[in-house]
Structure 1
Amino acid sequence: MNYVSFENRVHSIASRVEQLGGEVGEVTIAEPASSDEVLQMEKRLGISLPKSYKRVLLEYAGEFSFYWSLPDEMERPHEFREIFSGTVQWSLTSLPRLEEERKEWINVVFPDVNDPYDVIWHDKLAFCEVDNGDYLAFDLSDGADDAPVVYLSHDDGDGHGYRLANNFIELIEHASRLGFVGCEDFRWLPFTTSSTSGILADGEAAIRFRRWLELEV
């Protein structure tokens, strides 16, 4: 992954939002995690972290966050009417809390592995909490050394169980080319074509979105 290119996209998005009169939060880019920190976290969680996620933590940043929002009065095309802000975040140290929350949802609300909705919550690793109470998570069900990213909805969201990307690097690469419009499912669903397509950064909707916002990312 080209981290310089990734950061350039972040700054391009921030600059364009500011030109439009929107709000841009402070970009947080922590130091890379150490190998020992990652190893200790894997021991604590009892799993091996997905390969591409671990690579970003070790090579780029152990914690990252970025947020923006458009002006309330700004008119939006109908197909993008739900997109008024964007965010991206990850943090190695937040994993235990997020996993505890995911397991609590399973214990209290989604315990039945024979239920097609419940089972999606199982065999996952939550790594990002969505503002509405949902989660982005790694799907660990096939035991591969890397893992796809899926959406966990706690309230019948249309994106429940959708595969957003084949791995973490693909997720942040594609999301960065769409201004990080997530994380709620209604914001990124326009850029998918099915539950397994992933977020399509070069799809027709993505091209129209970048053209509308005049984003060069």
Structure 2
Amino acid sequence: MKNEGYRVLEAENGVQVLEALRREPVDLVILDVMMPEMDGIQACFKIRERSNVPIIMLSAKSEDIDKIAGLTTGADDYVAKPFNPLELVARVRAQLRRQSFAGSGAAKAADDAVIEIDDLIINKDRHQVSVRGKDVALTPTEFSILELLASNRGRVFNIDNIYQSVWKEEKFLSDNTIMVHIRKIREKIEDNPREPRYLKTVWGVGYKID
């Protein structure tokens, strides 16, 4: 990361991670799952209680169930060890690029910045979502996926479309990763995630919001 020009803060465990985040503003967090005192899963939960900073999880475990566990804690991406350092750099760039794209709409007209779909309200400039007047906390990746689908009502996006639009990169995640993010969004915005009112599946094709 330093060779790529990033300023890096290091922490030996989850407790030190939380302390570092309290001291200084951070643009992205890379968490190893296996850490002493407080592991990466616990640290991710704690971070999500106070911040939507992008989080990339690292783990020696590569089974899909382990990836799902990492993502359901609120992580935005998951990299299994061993990995090519250049791949991790690419993931970091993709997350930061996505954040910069998300924050580039300050000059938009106010009516373009707010999407209203029945009781679902999405404020793109403020990165805020509410359902029936109640605020919903989404991770940056969850928000970007929801914003993409809501901004293109009726259009069906497949896995590749979503990845390229949200990450601004060619797809290098498994299909399962997008599916986990979709599931988490539904759990947060739908009354019954099994029968979604907003975020719908078009079987064999992809996802849409009407």
TM-score (norm 1): 0.29
TM-score (norm 2): 0.29
Q: Which has the higher contact order (CA 8 A, sep 6+)?
A: 1
